[in-house]
């Protein structure tokens, strides 16, 4: 191994920035290289100005030297004082033997501490991963008057009644809207058509809603749906952020319209999925049955429409360009059926899905690996089991406490 490489490895090791592979490379060198070569190279490293000034202060070097050399010797104490003075003048020189002994013992001690710390850290991280549980039915319902209802905290039964619409939570945790007959039905309808409710799922949450027209909606994690408690007779319009799967009740006189950031989808009665998370960049609309019309502003700033057929997926990017392709529809709605499904999926997108479901943040150490993943993971397993998929693609990860939230973790991923 050349001098530049060992100098680089040793400096990174002591200032605590070396990767696991770099640490292994350094330790293999120390255990196999001839003593005179180690002595020469390590002395060179220790005597370098960057190492002396940036890694150890004069006081720190003096303390380490006292731990190695006799402490009851006045001669050594005087030499220590002299070294301190001379270092300030830029001419401090340790003997090769002292430098070798000091550095080797320092490495051995740090390596020993690293082993203990790594073992402890791995245990803490493993426990933390086991405690990062999968998401569950959890959402907040915001009524038109500003009332917030935490749906996972209330019992089944009637939640509220407004403008002739009764809202209930079923035994299996779904939110249902029912239209009630009343003497003031016309007035109630007019009022209900002009107000909105919003159901919002957090990270680590999902929820199902049965709207007043009989349309069923499944909301994925970190998503929201805004809708009137009673639709008008001419259209049924809702607003989606995030991801939702829709089974729209048929009504040829009142089209169902789903608005997202960059498009709107018009249907009469059909099954489809929309993925419109901001961090994806694209809005993906996948049709299972029936037909839908996608309205969007194209790159020429003109309103454009495109009709989808079953098993087709429309992908609208941030530049307002739309592409349509045939897809395996089971992959698009895997989340609804309790599964993560990855097919040539960029690793960043995989981590984003895990992050939303397990409620953790993530980042990459260095550049984002140019790796696409294949495979499937059940959504009912804990984070430890889900993240195992990364190991199959030679990706490593570790946990750090997320300073942004007191009880959250951040997953740091690398392919080093």
**Residue 89 pLDDT:** 33
**Residue 184 pLDDT:** 55
What is the CA 312 to chain-centroid distance, rounded?
A: 28
Report whether 94 contacts 102 (CB < 8 A): yes
Residue range(s) occupied by CATH 3.55.50.30 in the chain: 339-414
CATH number of 339-414: 3.55.50.30
Main-chain dihedrals φ then ψ at residue 409, nearest 5 degrees: -120, 155
Q: How far is CA 217 from CA 212, 310, 334, in A?
A: 11, 19, 15
**Residue 50 pLDDT:** 53
Structural Rg of the chain based on CA atoms:
31
**Residue 403 pLDDT:** 65
Q: Give dist(CA 368, CA 348) in Å, integer.
A: 7
At residue 65, the 3 state secondary structure works out as helix
pLDDT tens, per residue, the chain with 416 residues: 677 777 777 777 666 676 766 766 776 676 677 766 766 665 665 555 555 444 444 444 444 444 434 444 444 444 444 333 333 333 333 444 444 444 444 555 455 455 545 545 555 565 666 678 899 999 999 998 889 999 999 999 999 887 778 999 999 899 999 887 655 555 555 665 678 999 999 999 999 999 999 999 999 999 999 999 889 889 999 999 999 999 999 999 999 999 999 899 999 889 999 999 998 889 999 999 999 999 999 888 899 999 999 999 999 998 899 999 999 898 899 999 999 999 889 999 999 999 999 999 999 988 888 899 988 899 999 998 899 899 888 899 888 876 665 557 889 998 86
Size of the chain, expressed as the number of residues it contains? 416
The conformation of residue 269, written as its DSSP 8-state character, comes to: S
Residue range(s) occupied by CATH 2.60.120.1440 in the chain: 136-329
Nearest 5°: the CA angle 144, 248, 380 is 85
Task: Provide DSSP, 4-55.
Answer: HHHHHHHHHHHTT---HHHHHHHHHHHHHS-HHHHHHHHHHHHHSHHHHHHT
| Token couple for 400 | 């750090």
Mention every residue, 6+ apart, whose C-beta is less than 8 A from residue 297: 262, 303, 304, 320
CATH number of 136-329: 2.60.120.1440
Task: Provide DSSP, 80-149.
Answer: HHHHHHHHHTT-----HHHHHHHHHHHHHHHHHHHHHHHHHHHHHHHHHHHHSPPPEE--EEE-TTS-EE
Report whether 272 contacts 292 (CB < 8 A): yes
**Residue 132 pLDDT:** 84
Q: Give dist(CA 175, CA 224) in Å, integer.
A: 14
């Amino acid at each position: 191994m050349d001098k530049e490489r060992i100098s680089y490895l040793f400096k990174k090791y002591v200032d605590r920035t070396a990767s696991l592979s770099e640490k292994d490379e350094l330790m293999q060198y120390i255990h196999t290289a001839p003593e005179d070569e180690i002595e020469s190279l390590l002395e060179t490293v220790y005597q370098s100005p960057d190492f002396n000034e940036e890694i150890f202060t004069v006081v720190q070097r003096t303390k380490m030297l006292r731990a190695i050399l006799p402490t009851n010797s006045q001669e050594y104490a005087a030499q220590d004082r002299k070294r301190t003075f001379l270092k300030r003048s830029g001419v401090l020189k340790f003997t090769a033997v002292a430098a070798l002994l000091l550095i080797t013992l320092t490495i051995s001690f740090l390596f020993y501490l690293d082993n203990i710390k790594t073992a402890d850290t791995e245990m803490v991280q493993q426990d933390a991963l086991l405690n990062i549980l999968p998401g569950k039915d959890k959402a907040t319902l915001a009524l038109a008057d500003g009332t917030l209802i935490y749906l996972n905290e209330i019992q089944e039964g009637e939640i509220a009644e407004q403008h002739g619409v009764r809202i209930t939570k079923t035994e299996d945790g779904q939110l249902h809207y029912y239209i009630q007959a009343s003497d003031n039905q016309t007035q109630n309808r007019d009022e209900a058509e002009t107000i909105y409710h919003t159901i919002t799922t957090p990270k680590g949450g999902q929820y199902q809603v049965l709207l007043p027209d009989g349309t069923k909606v499944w909301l994925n994690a970190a998503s929201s749906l805004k809708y009137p408690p009673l639709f008008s007779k001419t259209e049924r319009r809702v607003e989606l952020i995030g991801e939702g799967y829709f089974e729209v009740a048929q009504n040829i006189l009142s089209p169902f319209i789903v608005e997202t950031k960059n498009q709107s989808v018009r249907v009469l009665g059909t099954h489809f999925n929309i993925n419109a998370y901001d961090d994806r960049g694209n809005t993906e609309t996948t049709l299972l049955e029936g037909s839908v019309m996608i309205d969007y502003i194209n790159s020429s700033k003109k309103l454009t429409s495109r009709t989808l057929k079953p098993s087709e997926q429309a992908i609208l990017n941030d530049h307002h360009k739309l592409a349509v392709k045939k897809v395996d529809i089971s992959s698009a709605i895997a989340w609804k059926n309790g599964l993560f499904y990855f097919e040539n999926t960029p690793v960043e997108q995989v981590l984003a899905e895990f992050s939303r479901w397990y409620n953790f943040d993530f980042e990459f150490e260095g550049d984002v690996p140019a790796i696409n993943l294949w495979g499937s993971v059940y959504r009912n397993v804990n984070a430890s089991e889900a993240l195992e998929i990364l190991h199959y693609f030679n990706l490593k990860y570790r946990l750090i406490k997320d300073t942004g939230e007191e009880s959250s973790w951040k997953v740091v991923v690398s392919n080093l």
